[in-house]
Amino acid sequence: MNIPIDWLLEGEPYIAYRTRLDLLGQPEDDPSVQADRRGMLGAPIVQAIIKELSVWPWNVISSHKSAGQAFHKLTFLAELGIQNDDPGMGGIIGPILDHQAEEGPFQLPINIPTHFGGTGADQWAWALCDTPLLLYALAKMGMQSHPNMQKAAGYLAGLVRENGWPCVVSKELGNFRGPGRKGDPCPFATLAMLKAFSVMDDWRNSPAAQTGVETLLRLWSESAIEHPYIFYMGTDFRKLKVPFVWYDLLHVLEVLSRFPWVGNDPRLLEMLSLLQSKADGEGRYTLESVWMAWKDWEFGQKKVPSRWLTLLSIRVLGRQASIE
């Protein structure tokens, strides 16, 4: 691969910070790494998210695909490398841990209209398209050993079926279920659960994780005929888009590549080859679709190559190269 390291290091502190850690392998205590981390933490655009998430409870969820939802912003902070002991994070993480359903998953304020099978009321509840991402973010921020985390993970692992995780919501949401056959797996719920388990030592190599990985690989190989819950793996799926919010090529590859035991599965290699083909002659990647909620960020445009997208793409490809 042609890796434009100097170009990446010229980017915003959060990009330089992750480049040093993920591509150059520099340790956290390296002076250059620490300097970029301080720059990241002090950046107004990062501080704005921390301030927004500190206001609890968060806004009521009306669409899980909305890129501006607070839980998607929390996962982004985790992917930057924000930790539970960073300034301002205690007031965000504490309420999440405290708002736990009796059965285990963490809850958020949600409203599902009656015509979709919900109650039409604002209430504390959870769904498999939100609570695994809370689990992921908190685990990545250093909270995976917390008892509440283990309780949540254990319950959610138990929901897996032989074909992956289905569309499941808490009892507070009534009869809601996504637009699909009851026996189908939900591709996004499966992706979200794998994302959480990929950063949890007790669950990364579990049978549930192995089932989930096989589900996503099979959905790719059968993408021409299988579209469970109206999740397609066609043209829109293949467009490069960050940050990781929904079900798309780079998001799926980011998660699958975290499981080294997948090895050289030809289905994974096919997806990686597609990703690699999108680089320009200098090894840089340009967004093919953007989330308008993130238009003020470096990756909120499609006009020029994005350093953040390039970093994430090279990182995914590098994980596979390390296996070969």
Lowest mean pLDDT among 29-33, 174-178, 288-292: 174-178
Report residue 173's pLDDT band, with 50, 70 and 90 as the boundaries. confident
- Distances from the Cα of 210 to the Cαs of 121, 130, 149, 203, 232, in angstroms? 37, 21, 20, 10, 22
Query: Three-class SS of residue 162?
Result: coil
pLDDT at position 48 over 80: yes
Question: How many residues comprise the chain?
Answer: 324
Residue 164 φ then ψ, to 5°: 105, -170
Percentage of residues in the chain with pLDDT exceeding 70?
A: 97
Report residue 179's pLDDT band, with 50, 70 and 90 as the boundaries. confident
Report residue 117's pLDDT band, with 50, 70 and 90 as the boundaries. low
* DSSP assignment string, 78-114: HHHT--TTSTT-HHHHHHHHHSB-TTS-B-EEE---G
pLDDT at position 118 over 70: no
Does this model's pTM top 0.85? yes
Q: What is the mean pLDDT of residues 236-257?
A: 98
- Residue 215: closest CA among 241, 247, 178, 175: 247
Q: What is the mean pLDDT of residues 215-226?
A: 95
Burial class (CB in 10 A: 0-12, 13-18, 19+), 278: middle
What are the pLDDT digits (tens) for 131-170? 999 999 999 999 999 999 999 999 999 999 999 999 999 9
Q: What is the mean pLDDT of residues 223-241?
A: 93
pLDDT attached to residue 60: 86
Asked if 316 contacts 253 with a C-beta cutoff of 8 angstroms, the reply is yes
Measured between alpha carbons, how far is 58 from 71 in angstroms, rounded to an integer? 9
pLDDT at position 323 over 70: no
Asked if 207 contacts 274 with a C-beta cutoff of 8 angstroms, the reply is no
pLDDT attached to residue 116: 64
pLDDT attached to residue 176: 74
Report residue 111's pLDDT band, with 50, 70 and 90 as the boundaries. confident
Lowest mean pLDDT among 59-63, 71-75, 116-120, 166-170: 116-120
What are the pLDDT digits (tens) for 71-81? 999 999 999 99
Report residue 7's pLDDT band, with 50, 70 and 90 as the boundaries. very high
pLDDT at position 61 over 90: no
Measured between alpha carbons, how far is 41 from 246 in angstroms, rounded to an integer? 26
Q: Of 182 and 311, which is predicted with more confidence?
A: 311
Tokens of 125: 């509840």
Would you kindly state where each structural domain of the chain is located, as residue ranges?
Answer: 57-72+83-323
* DSSP assignment string, 196-251: HHTT-TTTTTSHHHHHHHHHHHHHHHTTTT--GGG---SHHHHS---SS-SS-HHH
pLDDT at position 307 over 80: yes
Given 1.50.10, 2.60.120, 1.10.10, 1.10.3470, which CATH number is that of 57-72+83-323? Answer: 1.50.10
- With a CB cutoff of 8 Å and minimum separation 6, the contacts of 108 are 57, 58, 61, 70, 71, 99, 124, 125, 126, 130, 131, 134
Residue at token pair 């469970």: 228
What are the pLDDT digits (tens) for 295-306? 999 999 999 999
Tokens of 299: 């990756």
Q: What is the mean pLDDT of residues 27-36?
A: 98
Measured between alpha carbons, how far is 41 from 36 in angstroms, rounded to an integer? 9
Report residue 322's pLDDT band, with 50, 70 and 90 as the boundaries. low
Amino acid (1-letter code) at residue 19: T
Burial class (CB in 10 A: 0-12, 13-18, 19+), 130: buried
CA 47 to chain centre: 20
Asked if 287 contacts 248 with a C-beta cutoff of 8 angstroms, the reply is no
pLDDT attached to residue 121: 75
CB atoms within 10 A of CB 62: 11
CA 16 to chain centre: 20
Tokens of 24: 């150059």
Residue 23 φ then ψ, to 5°: -105, -40
Percentage of residues in the chain with pLDDT exceeding 90?
A: 85
**How far is the first Cα of the chain from the last one, in angstroms, to the nearest whole number?**
14
